[in-house]
Amino acid sequence: MLTHPTLDQLRALELDGMARAFVEFAATDETRDLAHAEWLALLLDRETADRDTKRFQTRMRAARLRHSQAVVEDVDYRTPRRLDKALFQQLTTSRWIAEHHNLLLTGPCGIGKSWLACALAQKACRDGHTVHYARVPRLFADLDLAHGDGRFPRLFRLQTKVDLLVLDDWGPDRLSPGQRRDLMEIVEDRHGRGSTLITSQLPVSAWHEIIGEPTVADAILDRLVHNAHRIALDGPSMRKLAADQANGVTATAAANGDAKPSKEAKK
């Protein structure tokens, strides 16, 4: 049996998924009696899955999500925060990204806006879309420095060429003239070519004032809002609810004679 030469050829061709599957199948009784065509189909399936995983991992590294472990399957629909389940589940298909629509996600501090945004971004990576995440205050600071050190063209391309740009934590500070100009250029370049997801503690009705100059504000919001899905969350802080639940568990444990705090409470 030409096991070793075959493995060498597969690895030389960078068919690592097929090489690993070849070794596994050769050692498994259930696959030894398969026809050659069936063997080949299984090897190709494994190679395809292996390459899809590598591409997904590459997209996730490039995205740099704040909550890299957030996934849409873990979204809590039970906590009262006015999350439209039907709309959110529709968004998890990533069709809105393929159609170059935007998403505006607003609500008070601690309600879970960033986590939900990262969960949708992670699903977008799984669905084959390129993603970049940026906190708005840090992005504006980086763009300001980039104007002076020659990095602006590269940084600008990073914001404009991805399929989904996540701008997290916009507001409440009023934009400076330079920030308005940079945001206008990013929004204009992405309009009709990519999707933008913005999270903010401020309602969309307050964004015009935050941008500042009326003409520029009109232009920016026209490109962001007219084809955007909106989710306006409201309710208690998810962090506070989690802390209260942790304290409740600790209190129950203490009542049962266990004075040691739980691991969750220590965190």
In a domain, residue 266? The reply is no
Q: What is the CA radius of gyration of the chain?
A: 24
Can you tell me the mean pLDDT for 222-237?
Answer: 93
What percent of the chain lies above the pLDDT cut of 70?
88
pLDDT digits (tens, 9 = 90+) for 6-56: 777 777 777 787 787 777 777 776 676 777 777 678 778 887 888 888 899
Instruction: Give the per-residue pLDDT at 30.
Output: 67
The answer to the question of residue 262 being in a domain is no
Tell me, yes or no, whether 136 and 197 share the same domain. yes
Domain that holds residue 184: 72-236
Q: Are residues 9 and 108 in the same domain?
A: no
Tokens of 170: 């916009």
Indicate whether 225 and 142 sit together in one domain.
yes
Q: Please give the Cα distance from 71 to 137 (Å, whole number).
A: 25
CA dihedral 195, 131, 170, 68 (to 10 degrees): 140
Model confidence band, residue 256 (pLDDT cutoffs 50, 70, 90): very low
Output the pLDDT for position 217. Answer: 96
Residue 23: its pLDDT value, please? 76
Same-domain check for residues 102 and 229: yes
In-domain check, residue 91: yes
What would the two tokens of residue 60 be? 């996730």
Residues 49 and 91 in one domain: no
- Are 95 and 15 found together in one domain? no
Give yes or no: residues 76 and 56 share one domain.
Answer: no
> Residue 99 maps to which CATH number?
3.40.50.300
pLDDT recorded at residue 265: 39
Q: Are 172 and 143 in contact (CB under 8 A)?
A: no
User: Cα angle at 68 between 112 and 169, to 5 degrees?
Assistant: 40
Query: Token match 């003409």: residue?
Result: 215
Q: What's the chain's average pLDDT?
A: 86
- Res. 261: pLDDT tops 70: no
Mean pLDDT of 254-261: 41
Do 26 and 108 fall within a single domain? Answer: no
Q: Are 231 and 88 in contact (CB under 8 A)?
A: yes
**Residues 149 and 35 occupy one common structural domain:** no
- Do 104 and 226 belong to one domain? yes
Q: Is residue 241 part of a domain?
A: no
Packing angle, helices 152-160 and 136-149, rounded to 10: 140
Are 54 and 177 members of one domain? no
**Does residue 249 fall inside a structural domain?**
no
Is 137's pLDDT higher than 70? yes
Residue 257 pLDDT greater than 70, yes or no: no
- What is the number of domains present in the chain? 2
- pLDDT tens column, 69-100: 999 999 999 988 999 999 999 999 999 999 99
Question: Between 26 and 136, where is the model more confident?
Answer: 136
Q: Which helix (H) or strand (E) holds 93?
A: none
Residues 91 and 155 in one domain: yes
pTM here is 0.80
Dihedrals φ, ψ of 195, to 5°? -105, 145
How many other C-beta atoms can be found within 10 angstroms of the C-beta atom of residue 246?
17
